[in-house]
Amino acid sequence: MRDFHCPKCGQRLVFENSTCLNCKSALGFSLEQMALLVISEKDASEHAGFVDAAEYQLCANLRVAECNWLVPVNSPRLRCASCVLTTERPNDADTVGLAEFAAAEAAKRRLIAELHELKLPIIGRDEDPDFGLAFRLLSSAHEKVLTGHENGVITIDLAEGDDVHREQLRVEMDEPYRTLLGHFRHEIGHYYFYRLISPSSEHLGRFNELFGDPDADYQEALDRHYSEGAPKGWQKKFVSSYATMHPAEDWAETFAHYLHIRDTLDTSAWCGFASASATFDRPALGPSAFPNIIEMWLPLSWSLNMVNRSMGHNDLYPFVLPAAVLEKMKFIHTVIDDVTNSQTAVAS
């Protein structure tokens, strides 16, 4: 995620800011411009009257989701490009659920911004009623909610936003890492398997070589994983023990790590810790692109881990990337790159 500044006074800001910390100007985020824009304080509460963003209005979820994104004034919808993808949420009387919902939407906005930067297709249920992307953000405090993906619909248990609950699950499941944003990135990987690796795709054969048969019995694989655990020596071929369960999970886990790496590199580049070629808007091109990404990532992740340890925290990125995992990640990079190039060709 890139660095932001207030257009009015130049104050350094973060992605979530809705008010400038220095000049107190009201702010809104434009996905199209990937920038925070100043909103007229006089009319901000009425969702109108922009100083330098007259073509935008604030998202209708400003309060319920603490959303600082903008919507084009001529748009038929009142919610932003991220909020409009959410089809189910806690009811208005559930104050605890709504607080968790706001935290989940904040993580989802980071996801959507990264997908936009990568130029990945974001096709909602309005365009594709059967397999379009949608989010169900619900709390298991009131009903049984299982985080997962089915036919484009991603369900997230909002209890994952509670630090204590999430840490308990992380320890119980012997995971080195567990975050709300990580869940979003994993589940969106399942969505993009459908979008990018179709039965007629030129990439399907290579997918089978690297990950295995995507049509293998999922329930059987799930039962085996939770009864027997990960196979011995899994660390040589998989990014996590969960990735060993099924080819679909291996893809989703590897896809999530690719998003972790690209976004962290982008942030580091904007903050001056990595080369400008690590940013989304100045990516490395050609066959050398992915090796360059990893060449930047390995020393950066090592350094960030050392910084975390100096502060008494666990490693920021507690994972090893063996050659087999890098080959899978390179494949994901190639598939995404093909989509980006095809969209660029159509646009030109």
Q: What is the mean pLDDT of residues 181-189?
A: 94
**Distance between CA 316 and CA 297 in Å, rounded?**
13
Kindly tell me if the per-residue pLDDT of 174 is higher than 70: no
pLDDT at 45: 42
Among the residue ranges 34-38, 159-163, 283-287, the one predicted with the least confidence is 283-287
- Residue 293 contacts residue 278 (beta carbons within 8 Å): yes
The pLDDT value recorded for residue 40 is 65
Per residue in 60-87, pLDDT (tens digit) is 998 899 999 999 887 778 899 999 999 9
Cα distance between residue 133 and residue 135, in whole Å = 7
Q: Please give the distance of CA 246 from its chain centroid, rounded to a whole number.
A: 22
Q: Which of 95, 59, 99, 96 is nearest to 75 (CA)?
A: 59
Over the chain, what is the mean pLDDT? Answer: 86
In this prediction, residue 152 carries a pLDDT of 94
Q: Which of 238-242, 285-289, 302-306 has the lowest mean pLDDT?
A: 285-289
Q: Which of 4-18, 243-257, 333-347 has the highest mean pLDDT?
A: 243-257
Q: What is the pLDDT of residue 72?
A: 83
Q: What is the pLDDT of residue 1?
A: 76
Looking at residue 52, its pLDDT comes to 47
Say if residue 283's pLDDT is above 90.
no
Of the pLDDT bands very low, low, confident and very high (cuts 50, 70, 90), residue 310 is very high
User: If pLDDT is split at 50, 70 and 90, which confidence band does 240 have?
Assistant: very high
Beta strands of 195-243 (E only): which ranges? none
State residue 44's pLDDT score: 42
Q: Looking at the whole model, is its pTM more than 0.85?
A: yes
**Does residue 228 contact residue 252 with C-beta atoms inside 8 Å?**
no
Give the H/E segment covering residue 101: helix 95-117
